């Protein structure tokens, strides 16, 4: 059944590929528009690499999300082919009216039309075929499917980097991601091995552990003092590097860490041919994520395009800054906690640094047992007279009926805002003056969702 659905998705992706090829054959510059997060940057990397390899040209722009303003700007452009990654499914009709033809390679659930009656575009989205776009495939994966007929197996690694970026990995990959992983490992592009998943093996251990967020280790991730105290307690020198430990000490440490989170010793996916900083797919995704959070999308894209040296070292620097701000953010939520309502909990900030990482802090707050997993976390970041919202919850809550994408979309629309996303992670923007009304409505909507 699922394989059949995947087959339909692949057919649709092939149609997109045919359209792309027609334009490349006519030397048209492809206008790529993608999302500015790790998955969006990976997706742009996939399509731009494929276009280059085919001898074509592209003009790429990364945006936080598609809106009327961006679409107005694009509607004045005279490109013959627009290629949307990680966005567009909510604007099929609008995109159908652009001057050129279009491909939409998206994985969000919001859909204004399936696109079947739009002659000038090909709409590729797993939700159109009853597949799950939240867990089973990311935008970089969907984009990979659109270039797969051109024999781009070496791009399977990047296709999975986006899936890690969107946190689709949980005890393995499922669905389309699993199919892509199979292709990647069978061709040797990606290899797997079991290993301890700490942020670094060459930094002092207490830092390496406190900087480990994927997976999150409760009581240790984000907390340098507790990390140090933990190492002292088990009798390992906190300043030593993991690589300098004796083998039995490595085993001893691993044993203790897996007690706190079994996922800390798990499968690691690597691209053996990649630069060491990017070899581990999850690290690669973290670097792109940090580029996104730092608003240096170009650096992220350069990394994906192989314009290396300086871009990689910049990316690594962004990651280090990003981890420092996570440590400060975690300390903030540990101190302040969340404001709880009956069905949801809120985190509010006006702090410039925190605003950039609120979505991540919401996820980490749950993973680190700082916030209750029983209520979705809704973060509120004040931006002058607007509030930017990020919602995060758990798989268990979505299984109990919670769908944050629909909740935030509906609530935001009621107060002159806009929102959407996935069941487990979503966002919105609303006028600041409606904040209290919005908070109450989200609480009400979620109360009707939980069964
Ligand atoms: O825009 P997009 O779909 O790419 O973003 C999805 C967001 O959802 C990412 O920020 C990702 O980290 C988040 N997510 C999450 N937990 C999950 C799945 C996704 O926080 N289990
Ligand atoms: O846009 P992106 O998905 O990269 O945003 C990641 C997180 O950063 C969001 O979940 C949001 O909490 C936060 N953010 C913000 N204000 C911005 C940009 C990002 O609050 N202007
Ligand atoms: O911004 P943040 O990372 O919290 O977004 C989480 C998810 O919600 C992403 O998939 C994003 O594309 C989606 N979103 C949306 N509409 C908004 C804000 C976020 O569809 N206005």
| pLDDT, tens digit, 9 for 90 and up, residues 111-129 | 778 887 788 999 999 999 9
Residues 240-281 have pLDDT tens digits of 999 999 999 999 999 999 999 999 999 999 999 999 999 999
Return the pLDDT at 137.
Answer: 98
| Res. 110 pLDDT band, cuts 50 70 90 | confident
What span, in angstroms and rounded, lies between the C-alpha atoms of 347 and 339?
Answer: 6
Instruction: Please tell me if the CB atom of residue 329 comes closer than 6 angstroms to any atom of ligand 2.
Output: no
CA-to-CA separations, 57 to 91, 182, 264, in angstroms, rounded: 25, 30, 42
The CA distance from 186 to 39, in Å, is 23
Q: Give the CA dihedral 293, 171, 247, 216, nearest 10 degrees.
A: 40
How does residue 3 score in pLDDT terms, banded at 50, 70 and 90? confident
Query: Closest residue (by CA) to atom 9 of ligand 1?
Result: 166
Residue 325 has pLDDT above 90, yes or no: yes
Is 1-189's fold the same as 337-449's?
no
Whole-number Å distance, alpha carbon 248 to ligand 2 midpoint, is 42
CB half-sphere exposure, 354, CA atoms < 13 A: 20
| Cβ–Cβ under 8 Å, residues 29 and 60 | no
Residue 157 Cβ < 6 Å to ligand 1: no
Confidence of residue 183 (pLDDT cuts 50, 70, 90): very high
Q: What is the mean pLDDT of the chain?
A: 96
pLDDT at 1 over 90: no
Q: In angstroms, what CA-CA distances link 87 with 117, 141, 183, 204, 389?
A: 19, 13, 25, 41, 18
Residue 117 is predicted with a pLDDT of 77
User: For residue 159, what are its two tokens?
Assistant: 């296709």
**From the CA of 388, which ligand is nearest?**
2
Which atom of ligand 3 sits closest to the CA of residue 358?
4
**CATH number of 1-189: 3.30.420.40, 3.90.1640.30, 1.10.510.10, 3.40.50.1370?**
3.90.1640.30
DSSP 28-71: PPEEEEEESSHHHHHHHHHHHHHHHHTT--EEEEEESS--HHHH
Percent with pLDDT over 90 in the chain:
95
What's the CATH number for 337-449?
A: 3.10.310.40
Residues 31-57, mean pLDDT to the nearest whole number? 98
- The length of the chain in residues reads 451
- How sure is the predictor about 2, in pLDDT bands with cuts at 50, 70 and 90? confident
270 touches ligand 2 (CB under 6 Å): no
DSSP string across 381-437: EEETTEEEEEEE--HHHHHTT--HHHHHHHHHHHTT-EEEE-SSEEEEEEEGGGHHH
Q: How far apart are CA 43 and CA 88, in angstroms?
A: 14
Q: Where do the domains of the chain lie?
A: 1-189, 194-327, 337-449
SS3 at position 174: coil
Residue ranges around ligand 3 (CB below 6 Å) = 65, 108, 359, 390, 418-422, 425-429
The protein residue whose alpha carbon is closest to atom 3 in ligand 3 is 359
Q: Please tell me the number of the ligand nearest to residue 37's CA.
A: 2
| CA angle 57–58–62, rounded 5-degree value | 165
CA distances from 407 to 37, 261, 301, 394 (A): 22, 31, 33, 15
- For residue 45, the model assigns a pLDDT of 98
Whose alpha carbon is nearest atom 10 of ligand 3?
421
| Euclidean distance between CA atoms 366 and 397, whole angstroms | 12
Distance CA 182, CA 260 (A): 30
CB of 64 sitting under 6 A from ligand 2: yes
Burial class from Cβ neighbours inside 10 Å (0-12, 13-18, 19+) for residue 26 reads exposed
- Report the pLDDT value the prediction gives residue 170, as an integer from 0 to 100: 86
> Is the minimum distance from the CB of 289 to ligand 1 under 6 angstroms?
no
Mean pLDDT for 186-214 is 96
Confidence category of residue 424, pLDDT binned at 50, 70, 90? very high
Six-digit token string for 5: 């659905």
| 37 Cβ inside 6 Å of ligand 1 | yes
378 phi and psi, to 5 degrees? -115, 115
Q: Is the pLDDT of residue 23 over 80?
A: yes
184 Cα: distance to centroid of ligand 1 (angstroms): 23
The rounded distance, in Å, linking the Cα atoms of 93 and 113 is 7
CA-atom Rg of the chain in angstroms: 22
Report residue 65's pLDDT band, with 50, 70 and 90 as the boundaries. Answer: confident
438: region left, alpha or beta (phi > 0 left; psi from -120 to 50 alpha): alpha
């Amino acid at each position: 059944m699922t394989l059949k659905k995947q087959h339909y998705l692949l057919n649709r992706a092939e149609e997109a590929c045919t359209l792309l090829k027609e334009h490349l054959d006519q030397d048209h510059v492809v206008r790529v528009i993608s999302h500015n997060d790790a998955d969006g940057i990976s997706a742009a990397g996939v399509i731009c690499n494929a276009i280059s390899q085919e001898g074509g040209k592209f003009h790429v722009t990364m945006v936080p999300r598609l809106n009327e303003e961006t679409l107005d700007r694009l509607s004045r452009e005279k490109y013959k082919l627009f290629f949307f990654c990680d966005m567009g499914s909510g604007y099929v009709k609008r995109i159908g009216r652009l001057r050129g033809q279009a491909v939409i390679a998206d994985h969000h659930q919001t859909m204004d039309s399936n696109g079947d009656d739009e002659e000038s575009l090909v709409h590729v989205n797993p939700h159109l075929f009853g597949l799950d776009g939240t867990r089973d495939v990311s935008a970089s994966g969907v984009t990979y499917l659109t270039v797969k007929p051109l024999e781009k197996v070496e791009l399977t690694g990047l296709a999975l980097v986006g899936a890690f970026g969107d946190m689709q990995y949980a005890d393995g990959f499922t669905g389309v991601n699993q199919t892509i992983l199979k292709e990647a490992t069978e061709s040797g592009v990606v290899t797997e091995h079991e290993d301890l998943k700490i942020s670094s093996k060459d930094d002092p251990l207490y830092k390496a552990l406190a900087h480990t967020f994927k997976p999150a280790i409760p009581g240790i991730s984000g907390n340098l003092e507790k990390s140090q105290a933990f190492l002292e307690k088990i009798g390992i020198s906190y300043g030593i590097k993991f690589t300098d430990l004796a083998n039995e000490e490595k085993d001893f440490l691993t044993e203790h860490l897996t007690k706190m989170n079994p996922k800390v010793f798990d499968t690691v996916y690597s691209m053996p041919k990649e630069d060491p900083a990017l070899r581990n797919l999850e690290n690669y995704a973290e670097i792109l994520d940090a580029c996104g959070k730092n608003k240096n999308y170009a650096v992220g894209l350069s990394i994906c395009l192989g314009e290396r040296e300086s871009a990689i070292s910049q990316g690594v620097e962004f990651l280090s800054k990003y981890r420092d701000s996570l440590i400060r953010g975690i300390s903030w939520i540990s101190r302040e906690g969340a404001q709880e309502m009956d069905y949801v909990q809120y985190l509010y900030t006006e702090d410039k640094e925190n605003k950039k990482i609120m979505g991540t802090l919401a996820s980490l707050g749950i993973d680190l047992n700082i916030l209750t997993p029983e209520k979705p976390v809704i973060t509120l970041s004040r931006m002058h007279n607007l509030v930017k919202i990020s919602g995060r919850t758990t798989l268990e809550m979505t299984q109990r009926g919670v769908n944050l994408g629909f909740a935030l979309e509906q609530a935001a629309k009621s107060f002159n805002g806009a929102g959407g996303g996935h069941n487990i992670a979503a966002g919105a923007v609303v006028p600041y003056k409606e904040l209290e009304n919005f908070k109450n409505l989200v609480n009400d909507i979620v109360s009707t969702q939980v069964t």
